[in-house]
Structure 1
C-alpha cells in the first residue's frame, strides 16, 4: 500500500469558503498541492485573484467565485457556477468572523452578523453542497472549520463561541443524516493559530498570558493544520464522519 496516496486529492475538486487570506487561503494552497482543483470563494472576488495566481504559479488549478455565505441566493448561484466548472466533492467551510465586545455591550446587529456568517453560512453552504452531491449520487466530504471555542468558553466573544458550538452540533447532525448519501461531515477545531491578522496580538503581553495556559507553551502555525486537514479531506478518513479534531497544542485539555 502506498501510504502517501491515501492523502492525495488528484482528480477531485475542492471548494474553500473565506479563502482570500489566513486559514482559508492556506487550505486552498494545501489542497491544491495535494492534487485537487480548487474553487475559492469570498464576498470580494477581487481579493481572491492573487490566491488563484499563486496556485497557478505552483502548477495547480484554481478559479475564484463570488459568494456571500449568509445569502441563500448567493450560495445557490455560486454552486451552480462552480458545478459548470467542476462539481466539488470536497467542501471546506471556513468563512467566519468575530466581534470582540463584552456580553452586555454586544448588539443585536453584532449577534446577527456573527451567527449568520459562522453558523447560518456554514449550514447554507454545507446543505447546498449535499444537495448537489445527493442529486448526482456522488460521494462527498464536508469539513467544517469550527474552533476549540465550540467546546470551551472565554469572555468577550459570546456570539462567536455560540456559533462555533453550533457548528460542532451541525457537523454531527449532518453526518448522521447524510451518511446514507455517502457524504461524510467532520469538523476541524483550531486553537490559536498565528496569522498576519493576529500575530501582533499573540506576541503582546495579553497574548503571552494566553500562551501560559497552553500545556505545550506554543501557538499553532498554519502548517500545523496540514496533517489534520488532509486527513479529513482525503480518503484516508473514509471511516470517519461526525468527528471533531482539535488542533490546539493541548489547549482544550488544560481547562484554562
Structure 2
C-alpha cells in the first residue's frame, strides 16, 4: 500500500557512500529502502538514519530473485528512484590479480548493478511510471589508475551500461545517470588506500583533499530530483578536478 510518499532503493546502503545517500534522502522526505548483504549492518544503519527496520532488505545484488523481491518491497510506496552504491574493491597490480578476484569484482560491481537496473526498469515499464537511476561508478572507470585492473574495468563497464540504459529507457521517462567519485573518505577507501596511495591522491587532486560521502550524496540527490529532469546518460565526476587536471603549480 502506498503511504503517499515516494520511495527510493539504495543498494550498499548500510555503510559508506550508500548510507550517507540514504541519510540525506530520508532527511529530504524520501521513503528510503536499504539493500545490503549484512543484516547486522542494516540494523545499525536503520538506527543511525533513523528509519523503520522494515525498510531494510538483506539481499545480494547478484541474486536475481532477491533483487526482484527487493524492488517489489520498495514499490509498496511509489518507487521513483534507485541508487546503485553496492560495490567491492581491491588495489592490486594486474599481474598479481587472480581470475577469481577479477570475476568477483565484476560480479558485484557490474552484474549486480545491471540486475538492479533491469529489475527497476521492468517495474517502471510494467506500471507505466517514470523513474531515475543513479549508478555509483568511479574515476577509476574513467582513467587508468594503477592497481585498478579489476575495479576500474568493472566501473568503466558501469559507465557504458549507464549510457546504454539511458538511451534505451529515456523515451519511457526513465533517466539513468552515474556519479564517478574520486578519492572519497569512506571505510572502503580507508581499507584499500595505503599511506602512499593517499599521498598520491592529495598531490594530484587540484583541491588537495579527499571528498566526503556527503558531497556524493548531495550529487545523487540532485540527479534523482525534478531539478535534473533533463539530465540523462551522464557520468558526473565528483572528484575535486582529478580527471581533468594537468600540470599543477608547485608548493600550492
TM-score, normalization by structure 2: 0.90
List gaps (5 residues or longer) in structure 2: 248-252
Instruction: Name 1:42's counterpart in structure 2.
Output: 36
Alignment deviations for residues 19-72 of structure 1 (CA, whole Å, 9 cap, x no partner): 111001001001111110000001122211121122237xx8971002111121
Alignment of 1:93-242 (within 5 A): 93-199=84-190, 204-242=195-233
Distance 1:147 1:163 in 2: 9
Q: 2:91, 2:192 within 8 Å by CA — same for their partners in 1? A: no
Confirm or deny: 8 A CA contact 1:19 1:42 kept in the other structure: yes
2:73 alignment partner in structure 1: 81
The structural deviation recorded for 1:155 is 1.8
Structure 1 residue 208: Cα displacement: 1.4
Q: Equivalents in 1 of 2:191, 2:119: separation in Å? A: 37
- My pick for the range that moved more, 178-187 or 62-71, is 62-71
Q: CA deviation at 1:202?
A: 5.9
Contact 2:140/2:155 (8 A) holds in 1: yes
Aligned-residue Cα RMSD (Å) equals: 2.1
Name the TM-score, length of structure 1 as normaliser.
0.89
Aligned pair count? 244
Shift of the alpha carbon at 1:131?
Answer: 0.3
Q: Aligned-pair distance for 1:74?
A: 1.8
Q: 1: CA distance between counterparts of 2:175 and 2:67?
A: 20
Q: Contact 1:94–1:144 at 8 Å: present in 2 too?
A: yes
Counterpart secondary structure, 1:99: coil
SS in 2 for 1:141: strand
Range moving further from structure 2, 67-76 or 90-99: 67-76
What is the CA-CA distance between 1:197 and the residue it aligns to?
4.1
Match of 1:13 in 2: 7
Moved more, 45-54 or 124-133: 45-54
How far apart, in 1, do the equivalents of 2:219 and 2:246 lie?
22
Check the 8 A contact 1:37/1:62 in 2, yes or no: no
Q: Distance in 1 between matches of 2:158 and 2:208?
A: 27
